[in-house]
Structure 1
């Protein structure tokens, strides 16, 4: 997917399909390819699906935070002349979607959260693999998934490169601290927008209780579980994820 990147000024993104806009926000260690299944499916279902590359490692250190990443999303939507979009976010991407919605609710058609941060931030710092040998990094990466085979060599290689890049490690820690500062618990009740929460029953990074808390605090939310699934349901069970999401979008007429 990264081979098809469109580059326009400070923005890089992939895009396919025509219709109502869906913007996908990847996680802290997430490649665009994590959303291959969602991207390919919904771009053929009457949606324009866009995945911007978030500048997590390109912002100045003092601006490496959830607030500035949500501002980047605002700038990106203005660049693309998108007034309203459905936002889909996994992990940090969900947190960015929530913070963006807090400031720009009129620009959000719907929210889709999968393993989102925003309530339970301790995990972001705790589970970020420290430097070590390849086997250690591989084991830590596999723990994110219910099925360790989802952590392919390509996925592990990306994580390994990140944890051995000093600049990336520093910015990852900055993001983790920012996530704690920008806890969304008090803001969620005011986000009156259709919200779809799709969660892995065996998510060890953002445990099931986090999904239940999101469902309680968001005023217009539906919660769906995927069994035998960890932190990235769109990767582990793409067909089930798409089926749930498509059904929800139809039900909500989005």
Structure 2
């Protein structure tokens, strides 16, 4: 489904529905379309907002997870958002954790799926064969339990991105920043409710990452999705939305 991309005050974002705010943050190689099924499911009861993170637009020296969290805050202030439930996949989860630590009064709940912040097994420190389409296809398929989820359109997008020198330098800078900013010593400070919705077959942020998040976050719950990799909201959207709705209903009941 195509949603309207709004361009305003230097921000590009999707803003669908009305009600309490669900703020969705995409991953390093992710796109707004990764969240299509979440928007479709929840925009009838919630205001679902997804900003495009400026991963390729910041000066190289300031490209990192902290600068992304600062960008999110500028967006939140501009849109005058409060009482936010924040959802993050992969790098988006990591940015969400940093944001919650910096602005705990603005976020009432957090959902992490395949989040970085503790450990991840991504592309590694380089793209040794980025000119090879088959290599890129294999790496994108590695993201999912079912390789068929890696559509040609998805592979084409990633291939194009990592063969753009300007973009690939920033991707590597962002990946290194994520490794440097390990959240291990800070998770105990996050006291809002957190739902961890994790693919049982995630090879990038494997199950032990979810277990560690669950152990260290004081008010967290962990849900597994079987036959699912690093992006449950794409690969198993019905299961993901089921657990998300249960969590949102629980928060409302409080």
The answer to whether the superposition gives a TM-score over 0.5 is yes
Select which of 87, 100, 124 maps to 2:122: 124
Whole-angstrom CA distance in 1 between matches of 2:88 and 2:31: 13
Match of 1:32 in 2: 32
**How much has 1:181 moved relative to structure 2?**
1.8
Q: How big is each residue's C-alpha offset from its partner over 1:28-47, in whole Å with a ceiling of 9 and x where there is no partner?
A: 00010011000111111x21
TM-score when normalising by structure 2: 0.96
Whole-angstrom CA distance in 2 between matches of 1:141 and 1:184: 26
**How much has 1:124 moved relative to structure 2?**
3.5
Q: Relative to structure 1, is the Cα distance of residues 3 and 85 closer, same or farther in structure 2, using a 3 angstrom cutoff?
A: closer
**How much has 1:132 moved relative to structure 2?**
2.8
Whole-angstrom CA distance in 2 between matches of 1:139 and 1:183: 28
Asked whether 1:160 is paired with 2:165, we answer no
Match of 2:230 in 1: 231
For the 8 Å contact 2:123–2:139, the answer to whether it is kept is no
Match of 1:54 in 2: 53
Q: Relative to structure 1, is the Cα distance of residues 213 and 193 closer, same or farther in structure 2, using a 3 angstrom cutoff?
A: same
**Structure 1: which 5+ residue stretches go unaligned?**
none
Q: How big is each residue's C-alpha offset from its partner over 1:87-125, in whole Å with a ceiling of 9 and x where there is no partner?
A: 10000000000000111111111100000000004x235
**How much has 1:160 moved relative to structure 2?**
0.1
SS in 1 for 2:252: coil
**How much has 1:84 moved relative to structure 2?**
2.6
Whole-angstrom CA distance in 2 between matches of 1:77 and 1:202: 33
Q: Relative to structure 1, is the Cα distance of residues 194 and 144 closer, same or farther in structure 2, using a 3 angstrom cutoff?
A: same
Match of 2:248 in 1: 249
Whole-angstrom CA distance in 2 between matches of 1:129 and 1:104: 35
Q: Relative to structure 1, is the Cα distance of residues 127 and 155 closer, same or farther in structure 2, using a 3 angstrom cutoff?
A: farther
For the 8 Å contact 1:94–1:117, the answer to whether it is kept is yes
**How much has 1:83 moved relative to structure 2?**
2.1
Match of 1:9 in 2: 9
SS in 1 for 2:40: helix
Pairing of 1:98-117 with structure 2 (within 5 A): 98-117=97-116
Match of 1:22 in 2: 22
TM-score when normalising by structure 1: 0.96
**How much has 1:180 moved relative to structure 2?**
1.6
**Structure 2: which 5+ residue stretches go unaligned?**
none
